[in-house]
Amino acid sequence: MSPETTKSWKVLSRLANTETDREDVPRRIEAAGLLADLTKQRLTEPVLEGLLALASERGLRDAIEAQFSGEPINRTEGRAALHTALRAPVDERPESAAEAEAVMTRVLDLADDVRRGTWRGATGKSITDVVHIGIGGSHLGPELAVEALTRPWHLGPRIHFVANIDGTSLSRALAGLDPNRTLFVVVSKSFSTLETRVNAGSSRAWFLERTGDASAIARHFVAVSTNLEAAAAFGIPPSNVYPMWDWVGGRFSVWSPVGLPLALAIGRDRFLEFLAGGHAMDSHFRRTPFAANLPVLMALTGIWNYNFLGVTNQAILPYAERLRLLPDFLQQLIMESNGKSVCHDGTPLNVHSMPIVWGGTGTNGQHAFHQLLHQGTRSFAADFIIVANGEPPASHHRWLNANALAQSQAMLMGQEDADPHKRVAGGKPTTTLVLPDLQPSSLGALIALYEHMVFCQGIIWDINSFDQWGVELGKRLAVPIFEQLGGKPALGQDASTRGLIEYLTRDDS
Ligand code: F6P
């Protein structure tokens, strides 16, 4: 049921319309080692009260328990969403997730073997390069985590990521690789995703052209998938297939065998620290009263911004080069989860769900798009993500954080000026998240924080955050167009698409 009919929604609407003399609430929360400063958000005590009442009215407490206990909360697909079980101690996992432990042990054993050089290629050589093939949830989390956490002294294999079907993605990854020292990791929950199938097929062809030995596939290709038959049909032996489960959504799967490249890059112990960081956030989320519960408060703050203050886009601004891929990862996590317009019962959602999420690293963004943030006409909210103990040299890091704080201050305070061109309005709602350092546990906690935030907002809006039916249409339409770009008559197409097909297939193109 759409939320605008609830009592608390009406109270909040009144507050949004009557808000005059705002007394902002200083609000700083610590959770799982992270600090969140919500002081620059436009929250007042009555607003917070209203938001917390909304959370109760929407049954958030029961919904959280339903998620953790493995109820099929992804109702359109009849599935649980149990990614939290993958990072929980074994005795705290629901029965339905019990099989995960043995599989994760195999994943971590493989990572150890490759890192130690005991996993040998078909010609007896150790592995120096891993090519990870996957897209969406089977790519974004692993690449973010590998880029954020790999340090030169970890001594693991080099990890290359291939996602896009554009051949450049694969050819760049393969350039200069020795097939005898390369391990391909094909990751696809469904094993039917076009990009991954095509990239995996071309990788196999590249490998066979150079080695001429089909039996060598068994030492150079492994797969992660729920679709064991399709992986076998591709030619990957069952012993090299690491199963996934339908109770882990793609965009929530970095904690599962999908995280294999991270384990390969940083090793077993640090991978387990990553899981522990996620679990620490889970414990906070599950046990802390809502008034001090970070994922809940971040979710409610978002609801206030998007549904009552008219905020139409959410910027993600990591001030850490190693978190360069965080905006891409969060785009999928948030927009694929909560870019919906229908409630659970199929009735329309009558209020806005998630706005556009985008972002980029500071300080680079300051010299690109921040101008619009300071003086443009569009409304936005921003999350600054900073690291207390960051990369040396110390003076660089101090400048980095000084700039992050200066930007959020400018967005809050603005500036008066007699010259209207120099006036900065201020009053922009921002949150600053502080990681103690950029380590596996803090990244784990950060990712889990956003996962739970997404979940809570889905509950408030009464949408299914765990399906993604909207992406199917384009996939289907691409099939006949592929044939028509290959020379078949462009029948059944709209005029624009037919014109483009004809242009791309004209004789002189
Ligand atoms: O097309 C969207 C999507 O289904 C995502 O939800 C998913 O993460 C991605 O494609 C990849 O899917 P798979 O892991 O099945 O290849």
Give the pLDDT confidence score for residue 365 in this predicted structure.
98
Residue 256 in contact with residue 86, Cβ under 8 Å? Answer: yes
Closest atom of ligand 1 relative to the 471 alpha carbon: 1
CA of residue 188 to ligand 1 center, whole Å: 7
Catalytic residue among 336, 370, 428, 452: 336
Give the pLDDT confidence score for residue 25 in this predicted structure.
64
- Closest residue by Cα to atom 5, ligand 1, is 136
Q: What angle do CA 322, 324, 40 make, to 5 degrees?
A: 100
Query: What parts of the chain have a pLDDT lower than 70?
Result: 19-26, 509
Residue 386 in contact with residue 401, Cβ under 8 Å? Answer: yes
Q: How long a stretch of residues is the chain? A: 509
Residue 92, judged by CB atoms within 10 A of its CB (0-12, 13-18, 19+), counts as middle
Q: Look up 40 and say whether it is catalytic.
A: no
CA of residue 431 to ligand 1 center, whole Å: 30
Distance from C-alpha of 97 to C-alpha of 82, rounded to nearest angstrom: 8
Distance from C-alpha of 140 to C-alpha of 50, rounded to nearest angstrom: 36
Give the pLDDT confidence score for residue 96 in this predicted structure.
87
Distance from C-alpha of 436 to C-alpha of 35, rounded to nearest angstrom: 8
Give the orientation angle of helix 268-287 with respect to helix 294-303, to 10 degrees. Answer: 70
CA of residue 265 to ligand 1 center, whole Å: 23
Q: Look up 422 and say whether it is catalytic.
A: no
Q: What is the pLDDT of residues 125-158, one digit of tens each?
A: 999 999 999 999 999 999 999 999 998 888 899 9
Distance from C-alpha of 292 to C-alpha of 28, rounded to nearest angstrom: 9
Probe target for ligand 1 pocket from 135, 228, 246, 330, with the most ligand atoms within 8 Å of CB = 135
CA of residue 170 to ligand 1 center, whole Å: 18
- Closest residue by Cα to atom 16, ligand 1, is 188
Q: What is the pLDDT of residues 299-331, one digit of tens each?
A: 999 999 999 999 999 999 999 999 999 999 999
CA of residue 161 to ligand 1 center, whole Å: 16
Residue 466 in contact with residue 81, Cβ under 8 Å? Answer: yes
Check residue 34 and give left, alpha or beta (phi > 0: left; psi -120 to 50: alpha).
Answer: beta
The CA dihedral of 395, 400, 401, 403, to the nearest 10 degrees, is: 120
Catalytic residue among 23, 209, 367, 421: 367
Question: HSE (CB half, 13 Å, CA atoms) of 429?
Answer: 25
Residues in CB range of 339: below 8 A, 6 or more apart: 353, 354, 470
Distance from C-alpha of 316 to C-alpha of 360, rounded to nearest angstrom: 7
Distance from C-alpha of 403 to C-alpha of 388, rounded to nearest angstrom: 13
- 3-class secondary-structure state, position 449: helix
Q: Identify the residues whose C-beta falls under 6 Å from ligand 1.
A: 135-138, 188-190, 193, 196, 250-251, 336, 468, 471
Give the pLDDT confidence score for residue 20 in this predicted structure.
57
Q: Look up 475 and say whether it is catalytic.
A: yes
